[in-house]
């Protein structure tokens, strides 16, 4: 386990003005509380973040390997509630983008998904880390270098449900992929879902009846991309499978259960002719039908990257925007029927991308991603802990 090779640097930064057209949201600039950068020379960043039972956070992403700015490996970092360093560990032989998903385990450890890169070919890898940061076991799944898993959840029987994409049926186009693992990490069942075009699942959630709801995107003839949602029962049988067109090039990214047994999704869509990518959050009934939806339109391109529960009946998303002011990280809060409560934009000395968000903590929330180090071209793992005002 690697310790303290990459000391953190705390930077307190003010947020800049917003550049959004929204429906009734407060847009007052806010002051960020704790902003930290982790990493060394080269490219480092976070794709995933989870809140831990002790009030701290675990971040998963990538870092430059052994000072070689052209090589990266998976990287997991644990910090306390104020962002203080606890431990970090590299995952060697990881694919270039490093960690793609994290989840707390029942014993306060971590479940980590990345791609294992062996002889220039990849398979998706699941690792279990102890609460102290050591690797307890690792398993690989898939049989083609393009297979990838994007979302993992522990199940009530001690196993795991995982969703992503696979080239199991063809080397040309991907399909949606769902794996149910038992408590020994063995596959109970798996499903390959999709049609004859490029498809992918990006998020999965447990339903109140013991089944699973997964979301992603599907490609239709003419390269039309639609949002995709499906429901599997506890054995993996398909209960419903629907496509939704929220606008040209719709992609569903995340899914969470709502308090009434329905679901809330996060999505990105592009406007006509592929311009101005914007953010959507909305509701799905237990049968997969659309209910409410709320959009956030940016003067540029905005992409949603994470969704989490904020409190009973409310949600928070992370995103990043690229516009005339550069790249910035975003956090937005929504009520139980899609009412937009706030949007916070974070930008500092360098370009920042918010790539993940935790569940809301008692004191606020935390977002993570990547950011340029001040006055250099280095890209660091970026953590921002927002305190309640």
Answer yes or no: is pLDDT of 170 > 50: yes
Q: Any idea what the CATH number is for the domain that residue 237 is in?
A: 2.130.10.10
Q: How far apart are CA 69 and CA 377, in angstroms?
A: 12
The residue among 347, 344, 265 whose CA lies nearest residue 22 is 344
Contact 367, 34 (CB under 8 A): no
Q: 332: which DSSP letter?
A: E
Confidence of residue 291 (pLDDT cuts 50, 70, 90): very high
The residue among 306, 298, 304, 305 whose CA lies nearest residue 325 is 298
Answer yes or no: is pLDDT of 197 > 80: yes
Burial per residue of 208-228, b for 16 or more beta-carbon CB atoms within 10 angstroms, e otherwise: eeebbbbbbbbbeeeeebbbb
In a domain, 3, yes or no: no
Contact 42, 360 (CB under 8 A): no
In a domain, 89, yes or no: yes
Extract the tokens encoding 248. Answer: 């040209």
Confidence of residue 349 (pLDDT cuts 50, 70, 90): low
Answer yes or no: is pLDDT of 47 > 70: yes
pTM for the model: 0.85
- pLDDT at residue 11 in the model: 28
Which residues, other chains included, contact 75 with Cβ-Cβ below 8 Å and sequence gap of 6+?
44, 60, 61, 62, 63, 88, 89, 90, 91, 98, 99, 381
Q: How far apart are CA 229 and CA 216, in angstroms?
A: 7
Residue range(s) defining the domain that contains residue 276: 9-387
Number of structural domains in the chain: 1
Q: In percent, how much of the chain has pLDDT > 90?
A: 36
Extract the tokens encoding 130. Answer: 């102890």
pLDDT in tens, 361-387: 556 788 998 887 665 667 889 898 987
- pLDDT at residue 248 in the model: 78
Mean pLDDT in the chain?
Answer: 81
Q: How far apart are CA 28 and CA 17, in angstroms?
A: 8
In a domain, 33, yes or no: yes
In a domain, 2, yes or no: no
Distances (CA, A) of 154 to 47, 107, 321, 378: 19, 11, 31, 35
pLDDT in tens, 220-276: 887 889 999 999 999 999 999 999 998 878 999 999 998 888 999 999 988 665 567
Q: How far apart are CA 346 and CA 243, in angstroms?
A: 33
Q: How far apart are CA 105 and CA 58, in angstroms?
A: 12
In a domain, 315, yes or no: yes
Q: How far apart are CA 99 and CA 298, in angstroms?
A: 28
What region, left, alpha or beta, does residue 281 occupy, with left being phi > 0 and alpha being psi -120 to 50 degrees? beta
CA 271 to the chain's CA centroid? 23
Answer yes or no: is pLDDT of 25 > 50: no
Q: How far apart are CA 79 and CA 238, in angstroms?
A: 40
Instruction: Specify the range with the lowest mean pLDDT, choosing from 26-35, 188-197, 261-270.
Output: 26-35
In a domain, 138, yes or no: yes
Burial per residue of 269-308, b for 16 or more beta-carbon CB atoms within 10 angstroms, e otherwise: bbeeeeebbbbbbbbbebebebeeebbbbbebbbbbbbbb
In a domain, 286, yes or no: yes
- pLDDT at residue 10 in the model: 26
């Amino acid at each position: 386990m690697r310790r303290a090779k990459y000391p953190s640097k705390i930077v307190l930064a003010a947020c800049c003005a917003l550049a959004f057209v929204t429906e009734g949201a407060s847009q007052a600039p806010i002051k960020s509380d704790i902003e930290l950068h982790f990493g060394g020379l080269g490219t480092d960043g976070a794709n995933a973040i989870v809140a831990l039972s002790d009030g701290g956070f675990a971040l998963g992403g990538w870092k430059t390997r052994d000072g070689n700015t052209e090589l990266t490996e998976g990287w997991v970092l644990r910090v306390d509630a104020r962002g203080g360093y606890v431990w970090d560990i590299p995952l060697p032989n990881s694919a270039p983008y490093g960690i793609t998903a994290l989840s707390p385990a029942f014993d306060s450890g971590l479940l980590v998904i990345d791609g294992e890169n062996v002889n220039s070919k990849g398979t998706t890898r699941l690792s279990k880390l102890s609460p102290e940061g050591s690797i307890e076991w690792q398993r690989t799944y898939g049989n083609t270098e393009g297979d990838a898993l994007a979302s993992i959840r522990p199940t009530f029987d001690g196993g795991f449900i995982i969703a992503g994409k696979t080239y199991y049926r063809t080397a040309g186009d991907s399909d949606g992929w769902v794996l149910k693992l038992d408590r020994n990490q063995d596959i109970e069942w798996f499903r390959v879902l999709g049609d004859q075009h490029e498809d992918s699942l990006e998020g999965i959630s447990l339903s109140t009846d013991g089944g699973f709801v997964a979301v992603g995107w599907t490609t239709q003839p003419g390269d039309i991309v639609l949002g995709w949602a499906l429901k599997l029962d506890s054995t993996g049988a398909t209960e419903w499978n629907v496509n939704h067109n929220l606008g040209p090039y719709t992609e569903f990214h995340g899914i969470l259960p709502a308090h009434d047994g329905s679901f809330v999704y996060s999505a990105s869509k592009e406007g006509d002719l592929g311009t101005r990518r914007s953010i959507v959050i909305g509701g799905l009934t237990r049968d997969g039908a659309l209910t409410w939806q709320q959009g956030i339109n940016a003067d540029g391109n905005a992409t949603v990257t994470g969704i989490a529960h904020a409190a009973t009946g409310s949600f928070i998303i992370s995103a990043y925007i690229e516009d005339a002011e550069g790249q910035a990280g975003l956090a937005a809060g929504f009520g139980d029927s899609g009412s937009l409560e706030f949007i916070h934009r974070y930008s500092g000395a360098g370009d920042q991308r918010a790539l993940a968000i935790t569940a809301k903590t008692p004191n606020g929330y935390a977002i993570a991603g990547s950011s340029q180090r001040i006055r250099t071209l280095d890209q660091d793992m970026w953590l921002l802990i927002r305190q309640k005002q």
